[in-house]
Structure 1
Amino acid sequence: MQLIIGNKNYSSWSLRPWLGLKVAGISFEETVLNLYEPEARSKRLAYSPTGKVPLLIDGEIKVWDSLAIAEYVAEKFPEKQLWPQDVAARALARSICAEMHSGFTSLRSELSMDVRASLKAEISPQAQADIDRIVSIWTECRNRFTVAGPFLFGQLTWADAFYAPIASRFATYDVALPSVAQAYIETVLALPEMQEWVAAAKSEPWTNNR
């Protein structure tokens, strides 16, 4: 399989499938495209019909959109248990992934992903509401599944991969959080695979100013 992704410093959408595949030990070839270079969109269109990343290529099959990739990979590799095995937990995991996928627009706008940076942001009431909702999600999951392990559903699932970019954002902007949320962020950022992503992001020569 081949995974087409954007700049590791900025592309939160790319981090999600990359992290899930890496942690699950699923082999894939990685192709990184600079999202900000001239003709960047035309280069992406050479791979993806939408001109966007991420894109998973598996033989003749192309899967675009991070949520579609998550479902495809989970279906192809059920033994990796990338969704929780319990029906109720799996429903919750899918719901919070979909919520992340389609929501939190104020947070995305005001606290954009920038792995290399150490920043302070003026947080609007709308972005704070997004932060509060995410903290509520994390707290509910950790309260319910603490015994099973340190991730949202005990063992690492797609839910953690989808919220990993938020953990990175909160670290970048030094967002004040309750202890449960802060402990979860530290767990995610300590993953060797996350450390690999961060190291690669820091070594990239590109910036969003090109």
Structure 2
Amino acid sequence: MAAAELTLSSKTYSSWSLRGWLLCRLAGLKVQEKAIHIDDPANRAELLLLSPSVLVPRLTHEGASVWDTLAIAEYLHELYPGAGMYPDDRIARAHCRSVSGEIHSGFANLRSALPMNLKVRHEKFPIFSGAKPDIERIETIWTECLTRYGGPFLFGARPTVADAMVAPVAQRFLTYAVPLSAPCSAYCDTINNWPPMREWIDASRAEPDEVEELDIEF
């Protein structure tokens, strides 16, 4: 039987690719990575047609083709219910799904004002005023979760789907030196030091330092 395959785009810039990859790691599913090279004209043309809910990331596994990060999360949870992708408690599990869904569907101003770039760190960065409510909402979500479940991850001692969904946000906050409360800043460090996250960051260093700007929201 063919190995599972995960279609990805840039490891430096694509937050959606990162989410899909982290979800596979949470499930313990080994995948072969299939890269869409954004410097190739044909693949660039394809990439420009994508949205976060269409083709990247796409998991191909045992006859199933699953795209969209939340669909991948649910597919993997169904396949590996013992992997702990969601909290065991029903109420916490519903909370985790709600946080993951809000991250998936919202925060457009944050995405456009602070695009993911894992190769840079700014000591100071002007933040578009329209993104500030998004940042405040993220802080509220994180604070509620960390207070309620005790950290260091959003739903306790182990990472869940919600942490995979917000991991690119934590990286954005680190990249652009976004001022945060102490608990939220510590959470960013937790995500940054999460071994799968470190592996992804290390792999991003092998990519070209610059790419032509794409008319797509990563």
TM-score of the alignment, normalized to the shorter chain, above 0.5: yes
1:60 aligns with 2:59: no
SS at match of 1:39: helix
Give the whole-Å Cα distance in 1 for the aligned partners of 2:121 and 2:187. 19
CA–CA separation in structure 1 for the residues paired with 2:29 and 2:55: 23
1:159 aligns with 2:162: yes
Q: CA offsets, 1:66-118, max 9 Å, x none?
A: 11101100110001010111111111111111111110000000100000012
5+ residue gaps, structure 1: 45-49
1:150 matched to which residue of 2?
152
Partner residue, 2:138? 134
**In structure 2, which of residues 65, 73, 76 is the aligned counterpart of residue 73 of structure 1?**
76
- Aligned pair in 2 of structure 1 residues 13, 98: CA closer, same or farther (>3 Å)? same
The separation in 2 between residues aligned to 1:93 and 1:130, in whole angstroms, is 19
SS of the equivalent of 1:18 reads helix
Say if 1:201 and 1:142 are closer, same or farther in 2 by CA, change over 3 A: same
Identity %: 44
Residues 81-96 of structure 1 correspond to what in structure 2 (within 5 A)? 81-96=84-99
Aligned pair 1:15/2:21, yes or no?
no
Work out whether 1:121 is the aligned partner of 2:119.
no
Unpaired runs of at least 5, structure 2: 48-52, 214-218
Aligned equivalent of 1:195, options 198, 207, 210 = 198
Query: What CA distance in whole angstroms lies between the structure 1 residues aligned with 2:59 and 2:44?
Result: 17
* Aligned mates of 1:51, 1:140 — CA distance in 2: 31
Does the CA-based 8 Å contact 1:14-1:53 persist in structure 2?
yes
Q: Which amino acid aligns with 1:116?
A: K
CA RMSD of the aligned region, Å?
A: 1.9
Which residue number corresponds to residue 216 of structure 2? none
Q: Deviations over 1:17-66 (max 9, x none)?
A: 2112224432111122223531115667xxxxx86310000121100111
Say whether residues 1:3 and 2:30 are aligned partners.
Answer: no
Conserved 8 A contact 2:11-2:203 = yes
Say which SS state the counterpart of residue 115 (structure 1) adopts: coil
With structure 1 as the length reference, what TM-score do the two structures score?
A: 0.91
